[in-house]
């Protein structure tokens, strides 16, 4: 039996055991809250560290570090327990392992089987919710229809050694070459967020993003500047073990990007929600139990804002009965926080808006890391083909989707999920109605009166629920449609498979697909 086939056989057995366990437990006994787990004793390489006295306004940790970073050493995922940094040998945090379900496991494994060293896990290992601040730039529009941004975190209070930025591993990519900073990738699914990207800045972000227009997205992020935008992001922090176990924030729950940093014209583009899924090689909706979300704006001032306005406020949810009130602003001791109260996460709420602030004299924007090669940064693109022998599950699935689309239209760079892939799956039509409703764009809402609380900060809301993660039905529909599209198109067009996987293994992954 060829080596890939042997690996696939081993995978099939482990997948069966995993599915049986999942069936018996109904759903994983895991929940995401802002309040972090208790710090572990000792210091394994992938134990997390944060200051419990300096949590963010939600009660979540800020700028997480790995334990070795406190001594100036950046942990290497490949060198810990044979490339399994999520295992008990490497961490006492007990991260949650989110991997694909059912037939989708096969396609993720096809990419992983050719990516030595062989790992037992090929999805996302999630540690906890955290808020990071730093420099934000455009990475790409992924083959899984994710918006991908990158964040260069700061390294305050860490030993000053090369690239020792908060939360970084040795496997995190460098922005340009190996002398430039490393970054944390930030991802959120366009299919989940586009319904709220209909006005102003976020509408432009959607249009340029879908075209992967690097130059125009860079200009949008920080107009008239040759530097990256500063900002804050709240997301699920962990390791993407479909891409080398590098640290990431995925999904993003909230992000504030400072597009203009002048005191008399301080502009922020903001998205907020309390739910979101991972990529193709995952399955769960990472809902937050909480319904209040706060983001800290990196701007210093001894006095509160002189004027605050919210423009292009677009609230969206999967039901028409949901109402999302306008955000509120809090200011105390030089710290400015924007807070939004959302419906329960099962209603899949999301809101986008532009926040415009005028500051009194003496206010200053917080500086964030700016590489010396800033102009080259602005041209950074992630259309990186995987290196030979390093094909990953989601990379391979993306290559299959592109090959299937180009077998029908050679000039098509990437098919549209809504226009090309979903209509090509007639067996899914009965399940598409809820997904189509989710895609409808809601009207914008006026925020004529905005509450600014001076001299106080928001208080974290006590947790009242005991919530379990669920498999997201909308994601299942999309993943099923993508898989069916690839397998059906191959059968009808017989397009050439991308390098790295045998015909036998591809056919086995497609087995049972209409």
pLDDT tens figures, 264-299: 999 999 999 999 998 888 889 999 999 999 999 988
As a whole number, mean pLDDT of residues 350-369 equals 92
103-147 pLDDT per residue, tens? 677 777 765 555 545 566 778 999 999 999 999 999 999 888 899
- Percentage of the chain lying above the pLDDT 90 cut: 45
In the prediction, which pLDDT does 209 show?
Answer: 94
Lowest mean pLDDT among 187-201, 263-277, 481-495: 481-495
Are the CB atoms for 477 and 191 separated by under 8 Å?
Answer: no
Is 226 domain-assigned?
Answer: yes
Residue 257 pLDDT greater than 80, yes or no: yes
In the prediction, which pLDDT does 14 show?
Answer: 39
Average pLDDT across the chain, whole number: 82
Tokens encoding 441: 């764009």
- Residue 422 and residue 432: Cα distance in Å, rounded? 8
Are the CB atoms for 278 and 123 separated by under 8 Å?
Answer: yes
Q: Which helix (H) or strand (E) holds 46?
A: none
In the prediction, which pLDDT does 118 show?
Answer: 52
Tokens encoding 45: 């390489």
As a whole number, mean pLDDT of residues 81-97 equals 92
Q: Is 224 left (phi over 0), alpha (psi -120 to 50) or beta?
A: left
43-75 pLDDT per residue, tens? 899 999 999 989 999 999 999 999 999 999 999
Residue 472 φ then ψ, to 5°: -85, 120
Tokens encoding 79: 């060198």
Residue keyed to tokens 């986008």:
352
Is 260 domain-assigned?
Answer: yes
As a whole number, mean pLDDT of residues 317-329 equals 85
Tokens encoding 131: 């808020």
- Residue 415 and residue 143: Cα distance in Å, rounded? 9
Tell me which residue range forms the domain holding 69.
3-28+64-510
Domain count within the chain: 1
Is 57 domain-assigned?
Answer: no
- Percentage of the chain lying above the pLDDT 70 cut: 82
Question: Looking at per-residue confidence, does 471 or 464 come out higher?
Answer: 471
As a whole number, mean pLDDT of residues 25-50 equals 80
DSSP assignment letter at 86: T
Is 272 domain-assigned?
Answer: yes
Is 453 domain-assigned?
Answer: yes
Lowest mean pLDDT among 262-266, 283-287, 390-394, 421-425: 390-394
Is 44 domain-assigned?
Answer: no
State the pTM of this model.
0.89
In the prediction, which pLDDT does 439 show?
Answer: 54
Is 58 domain-assigned?
Answer: no
Nearest to 255, CA basis, from 347, 184, 166, 173 = 184
Helices 200-210 and 214-221, packing angle to 10 deg: 160
């Amino acid at each position: 039996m060829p080596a890939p086939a042997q690996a696939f056989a081993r995978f099939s057995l482990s997948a069966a055991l995993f599915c049986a366990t999942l069936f018996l437990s109904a759903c994983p006994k895991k929940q995401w809250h802002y309040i972090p787990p208790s710090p572990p004793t000792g210091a394994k390489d992938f134990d997390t560290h944060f200051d419990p006295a300096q949590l963010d306004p939600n009660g979540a940790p800020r700028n997480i570090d790995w334990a070795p970073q406190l001594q100036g050493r950046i942990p290497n995922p490949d060198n810990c327990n044979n490339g399994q940094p999520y295992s008990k040998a490497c961490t006492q945090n007990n991260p949650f392992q989110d991997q694909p379900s059912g037939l989708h496991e096969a396609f993720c494994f096809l990419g992983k089987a050719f990516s030595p060293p062989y790992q037992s896990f090929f999805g996302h290992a999630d540690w906890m919710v955290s808020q990071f601040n730093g420099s934000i730039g455009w990475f790409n529009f992924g083959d899984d229809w994710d918006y991908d941004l990158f964040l260069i975190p700061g390294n305050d209070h860490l030993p000053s050694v090369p690239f020792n930025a908060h939360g970084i591993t040795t496997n995190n990519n460098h922005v340009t070459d190996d002398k430039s900073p490393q970054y944390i990738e930030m991802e959120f699914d366009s299919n989940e967020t586009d319904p709220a990207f209909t006005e102003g800045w976020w509408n432009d972000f959607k249009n340029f993003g879908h075209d992967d227009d690097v130059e125009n997205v860079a200009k949008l992020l920080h107009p008239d500047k040759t530097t990256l935008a500063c900002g804050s992001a709240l997301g699920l922090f962990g390791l993407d073990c479909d891409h080398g176990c590098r640290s990431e924030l995925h999904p993003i729950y909230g992000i504030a990007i400072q597009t203009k940093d002048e005191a008399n014209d301080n502009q922020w583009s903001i998205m907020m929600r309390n739910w979101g899924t991972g990529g193709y090689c995952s399955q769960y909706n990472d809902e937050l139990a909480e319904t209040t979300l706060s983001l800290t704006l990196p701007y210093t001032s001894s006095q509160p804002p002189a004027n605050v306005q919210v423009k292009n406020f677009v609230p969206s949810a999967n039901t028409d009965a949901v109402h999302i009130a306008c955000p509120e602003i809090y200011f105390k001791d030089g710290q400015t926080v924007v807070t939004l109260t959302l419906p329960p996460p099962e209603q899949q709420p999301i809101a986008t808006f532009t926040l415009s602030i005028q500051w009194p004299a003496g206010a200053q924007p917080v500086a964030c890391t700016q590489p010396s090669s800033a102009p080259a940064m602005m041209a950074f693109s992630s259309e990186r083909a995987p290196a030979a022998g390093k094909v990953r599950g989601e990379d391979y699935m993306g290559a299959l989707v592109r090959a299937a689309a180009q077998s029908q239209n050679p000039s098509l760079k990437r098919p549209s999920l809504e226009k090309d892939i979903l209509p090509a799956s007639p067996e899914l039509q009965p399940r598409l109605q809820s997904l189509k409703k989710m895609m409808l764009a809601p009207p914008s809402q006026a925020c004529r009166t905005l509450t600014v609380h001076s001299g106080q900060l928001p208080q974290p809301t006590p947790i009242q629920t005991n919530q379990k993660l669920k498999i997201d039905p909308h994601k299942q529909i999309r993943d099923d449609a993508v898989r069916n599209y690839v397998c059906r198109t191959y059968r009808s067009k017989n397009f050439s498979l991308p390098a790295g996987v045998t015909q036998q293994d591809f056919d086995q992954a497609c087995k049972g697909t209409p």
